[in-house]
A and B are shown apart, each in its own frame.
Chain A
């Protein structure tokens, strides 16, 4: 599986934007970029995913570099509830029977200060 690299930790203040980077220099052409986060004492939850174009949803935005070797998860206005471990994951497209394996790295621990 292609590997991702994320900073171990980041800090932010409440109400400010947060940019969480992810490097994936060995990404293949058909790998999707997924972001999940894990709040304390909970299972991971889906945040956003994309292939080539930038993506927006109600939770966040995903900015993908033109060469796809890096991406950035953007939380537009951090809240205390956004404090979590954020995982950047590449998912291979194995055709019609894609498998559900998610390869989690260590992720980025986001601390949000009031």
Chain B
């Protein structure tokens, strides 16, 4: 099975722009979660989608949004980019919703905001 794929892998934007990142989960996985990783804050949960519905959300401003499509692919969008949004954005997928589910992470999208 192919792993979690994220596109693009690298992205450079300027302040004020918006960006859309894409995540394709492992085939058969219905849940997709997004995380932001920065040197200062570490790995922080953004949100999770399950069957096209947002199930949980972290403590991020409304500029961060996401959606999930019927094929379980997910996108996250960041509007009005700020310098502090520079980070590695990771997507993870899993099969169902059990606490024992393993999450499979993609390689991430490295976003640089200038």
Are B103 and A102 neighbours in the complex by a CB distance under 8 Å? yes
Chain B residues touching A, range: 20 to 34
Residues of B within 8 A of A96 (CB): 97
Contact A32:B99 (CB < 8 A) given known A99-B56, A100-B56, A102-B33: yes
What's the minimum C-beta distance from A34 to chain B, rounded to whole angstroms?
Answer: 9
Task: Choose the segment among A10-18, A40-48, A65-73, A76-84 that binds chain B (4+ C-beta atoms closer than 8 Å).
Answer: A40-48
Q: How far is the CA of A49 from the CA of B103 in the complex (A)?
A: 11
Interface residues of A in 78-112 (CB under 8 A from B): 87, 91-94, 96-107
Are B99 and A97 neighbours in the complex by a CB distance under 8 Å? no
Interface residues of B in 15-54 (CB under 8 A from A): 31, 33, 35, 42-45, 48, 50
Chain A residues touching B, range: 20 to 34
Would you mind naming 22 contact pairs between A and B with Cβ atoms under 8 Å apart? A32-B99, A32-B100, A36-B103, A42-B105, A44-B103, A45-B104, A46-B103, A49-B102, A91-B99, A94-B99, A97-B50, A98-B97, A99-B55, A99-B97, A100-B31, A100-B103, A101-B45, A101-B58, A102-B33, A102-B45, A104-B42, A104-B44
Residues on A facing B (Cβ under 8 Å): 30, 32, 36, 42-46, 49, 87, 91-94, 96-107
Contacts beyond the supplied A100-B56, A102-B103: 14 A-B pairs with Cβ under 8 Å:
A43-B105, A43-B106, A44-B43, A44-B90, A44-B92, A46-B102, A46-B104, A87-B43, A92-B99, A98-B99, A100-B31, A100-B92, A102-B35, A103-B45
